Amino acid sequence: MASVFGRTIQLFLVDGTPVGLRKATIHGWTGLTFVATDATFAALTARPELDRTGVYILFGPDPVKDGAIRAYIGSANSVAERIKQSAAQRGFWQTAIAVTTSDDDLSKGHVEYLEARLIQMALAAKRAELDNATFPTEHRRRLPEADQANMEQFLLNLQIILPVVGLDMLKPQPRAVAELSTPAEQRTAQDIKFEIRHRSGVVAEAVEEDGEFIVLEGSRCLTDTGYVGTTYSVLKQSLIEEKFLTPVGDGFLAFVRPYSFSSPSAAAAVILDRNSNGRTEWKVKGSKQTYADWKIQQAVNTPISQ
């Protein structure tokens, strides 16, 4: 098995405040990643490093699809100029990320390759709706084999740094969500399963994978319980509209395919149709041990790193 090493990411607050322009770097990598909001966008485009070749991402809440993220991916010889044009044409974005290098060694061919691969990776991950009108392939400008290898390493570093600055649109879907051609029992055979068994007869199963809480297909939900204004009612309606949830007999809803929630509480709220503490509602399957107690047990049993 290949060794996994720690990485050092430096996050620099350009104006000294947590809400200002941020600059992120990885030790030993020439890539520079800048993160701005609408309030700090002028400071972003004024950076001299952005008058270089690079790629950029604009993202924010999808104006059409509740609970979804919309993103636009672009590349340019001068990131500063192109990102201003793209931002002016799109009203959905709340955050802008610009990526270039400290030694200005990216060519037009490099960034077009990166743009195409970023689009390809985002489409595969299915975590964001893309606002791009076209989806170019990485072969639109052929790169030498060595350059392609270098750009793939560049992308590996971006996959590390983007979630740190708040964007996980490149993160592959968990196995429990991605491998739908395999029955749930097989693809989650190695996972600890959690369940909710409600007195109404509703039964739901879930697994936790890589920090995501995934409710499996076949799980059932309560609906129209009379609780008003639950925190996750918009999310639940979105799941119904997107056909993750469909009506079944006895007035319940059922998950047609697995869905990855941000937390056990979000999953429990959708299933029980009310605000819920998922850490106590979910139990290890076949036992009375709560998710919270299981987490504590995991922490106790994890050896201290030397």
pLDDT tens for 118-165 read 999 999 998 999 999 988 877 766 789 999 999 999 999 999 999 999
pLDDT at 1: 41
Number of domains making up the chain: 2
In contact, 29 and 18? CB cutoff 8 Å: no
- Are 131 and 221 contained in the same domain? no
- Are 114 and 251 contained in the same domain? no
For tokens 């500063």, the residue is 80
Q: Last residue of a domain, which of 164, 188, 213?
A: 164
| Strand stretches in the chain, DSSP E | 9-13, 22-26, 31-37, 54-61, 69-76, 95-101, 129-130, 193-197, 203-209, 212-215, 220-221, 245-247, 253-255, 259-261, 283-284
Q: Last residue of a domain, which of 129, 164, 199?
A: 164
One-letter amino acid at 96 equals A
Between the CA of residue 191 and those of 1, 186, 209, 213, what are the distances in Å? 20, 10, 8, 12
- Are 156 and 17 contained in the same domain? yes
Q: Last residue of a domain, which of 123, 140, 164?
A: 164
- Are 182 and 95 contained in the same domain? no
Residue 264 lies in a domain: yes
- Are 32 and 143 contained in the same domain? yes
Q: Are strands 31-37 and 69-76 parallel, antiparallel or unpaired?
A: unpaired
Residue 170 lies in a domain: no
Between the CA of residue 148 and those of 28, 57, 104, 119, 143, what are the distances in Å? 19, 21, 17, 16, 6
Residue 217 lies in a domain: yes
Q: 249 pLDDT exceeds 80?
A: no
Q: Are strands 69-76 and 129-130 parallel, antiparallel or unpaired?
A: parallel
Can you tell me the distance from the alpha carbon of 106 to that of 112, in angstroms, rounded to the nearest whole number?
10
- Are 201 and 158 contained in the same domain? no
Residue 157 lies in a domain: yes
- What would the two tokens of residue 69 be? 């993220």
- Are 154 and 14 contained in the same domain? yes
Residue 306 lies in a domain: no
Residue 132 lies in a domain: yes
Residue 270 lies in a domain: yes
Residue 54 lies in a domain: yes
In contact, 223 and 270? CB cutoff 8 Å: no
Q: 7 pLDDT exceeds 90?
A: no
Q: State which residues form the domain around 220.
A: 175-301
- Are 182 and 150 contained in the same domain? no
Each residue of 152-209: pLDDT tens digit?
999 999 999 999 999 999 988 888 888 888 888 888 888 999 999 999 999 999 999 9
Q: Is pLDDT larger for residue 35 or for residue 67?
A: 35
- Are 160 and 189 contained in the same domain? no
Between the CA of residue 180 and those of 128, 215, 236, 270, 283, what are the distances in Å? 19, 13, 22, 22, 24
Between the CA of residue 120 and those of 113, 114, 139, 264, what are the distances in Å? 11, 10, 12, 30
- Are 214 and 261 contained in the same domain? yes
- Check the CA dihedral 173-194-69-53 and report its sign: negative
Q: At what angle do helices 264-272 and 233-241 cross, to 10 degrees?
A: 70
- Are 123 and 222 contained in the same domain? no
- Are 75 and 194 contained in the same domain? no
Among 80-89, 158-167, 224-233, 238-247, which is the least confidently predicted range?
224-233
